[in-house]
Structure 1
């Protein structure tokens, strides 16, 4: 892995209280938020850009629907007033938002992506980022997902779903790495 430039953007996707609702089911990577918090602290200490993506669902039964506690960011990754918040209503953080123009207007072309759900909003955002030409990294232990039923009613563990989603993103859309590797490859300011 090459060293990350001082303007590499930490993108934190949908780390909101909604994700703790029991309706989501069994989850992998209980340390994901702690790893995101470690990355966030490193970004803050080195004054790198941070973007918090907040999902505001239009679905009436969503745990991410505005007007309820689920929309609130988790305390462990609470945005600072100086950090950018991008609100989205669909899975991809680039659709219906100003994220791409915000990044391009500042000359930011390296993204380090964390958050939830690996095979949903994270993968949707990463695929578009890769297609738009951003140099994108997905932090495998700073993302998480849930058990998932397939169309033949077979249950797949969150660990398998997570691994397959990361494999989908690796290479063509992004480079998949981990928290320790990212922290070792931050260029000094």
Structure 2
């Protein structure tokens, strides 16, 4: 998880907060999660970004699955309280993106177009789930040429079963995401503490 050099956080580095929604608290639907400190880390980064007037993007998943807690019109579609309370705060630009797929770059409005119009070339990504929408957003950002900082401890995910009866724990999935993104050159995997220190330099 350690980076080769400390992350660089410029004044125009955006914070992209992915799917921090009430419905992802429903453990009977999702299963066992990892990293109980994730929400506190996300809240810390939101506070730093808004206090310093940096750009913030809030991403909401509007599920089209009929049984999903995240579908529009359900309480679970809304942001968690600490995110909702911060909407519209801070001196920097803020954008709300809604999506129905994994990547925030396939949402409305067009995140890539907003970044380019704003001159943003670097972003930090946090949120839920580590190996799903957060990872997909990071991968696509890297493919589009952005410098992506992935705050691993400001994400969480759930145990998951795949093919052949294989099952991986949430911690195993998060570690695999970190290795793939960092080792594959899609993003720099870092921590909340490193990002806060970089933002205050």
Same fold (TM over 0.5): yes
Query: Would you say how many aligned residue pairs link Structure 1 and Structure 2?
Result: 188
Choose which of 71, 83, 92 in structure 1 pairs with 2:103.
Answer: 92
The partner residue of 1:159 within 171, 175, 181 is 171
Unaligned runs of 5+ in 2: 1-5
Matches within 5 A, 1:105-116: 105-116=117-128
Alpha-carbon offset, residue 187 of structure 1: 5.0
* Corresponding position: 1:122 with 2:129: no
Distance of 2:155 and 2:7 partners within structure 1: 21
**How far apart, in 1, do the equivalents of 2:168 and 2:102 lie?**
21
Relative to its length, the structure with more helix (as a share) is: 2
| Correspondence list, 1:9-158, <5 A | 9-22=14-27, 23-78=29-84, 79-81=86-88, 83-97=94-108, 98-158=110-170
Q: Whole-Å Cα distance in 2 between the matches of residues 71 and 10 of structure 1? A: 21
| 2:16 counterpart SS class | strand
- Secondary structure of the residue aligned to 1:170 is helix
Runs of 5+ in structure 1 lacking a partner?
none
What secondary structure sits across from 2:123 in the alignment? Answer: strand
Q: Which runs of 4+ in 1 moved over 4 A?
A: none
* TM, length-normalised to structure 2: 0.90
Secondary structure of 1:133's match?
A: coil
Structure 1 distance, partners of 2:200, 2:148, is: 16
Normalised TM-score (structure 1):
0.95
Q: In structure 1, the residue corresponding to 2:15 is in which secondary structure?
A: strand
The aligned counterpart of 1:181 is 194
- Alignment CA distance shift 1:49-1:96 (3 Å): closer
- Determine the C-alpha separation between the residues in 2 that align with 1:169 and 1:55: 22
Question: 1:155 deviation in Å?
Answer: 2.3
Q: How many angstroms apart in 1 are the aligned matches of 2:158 and 2:7?
A: 31
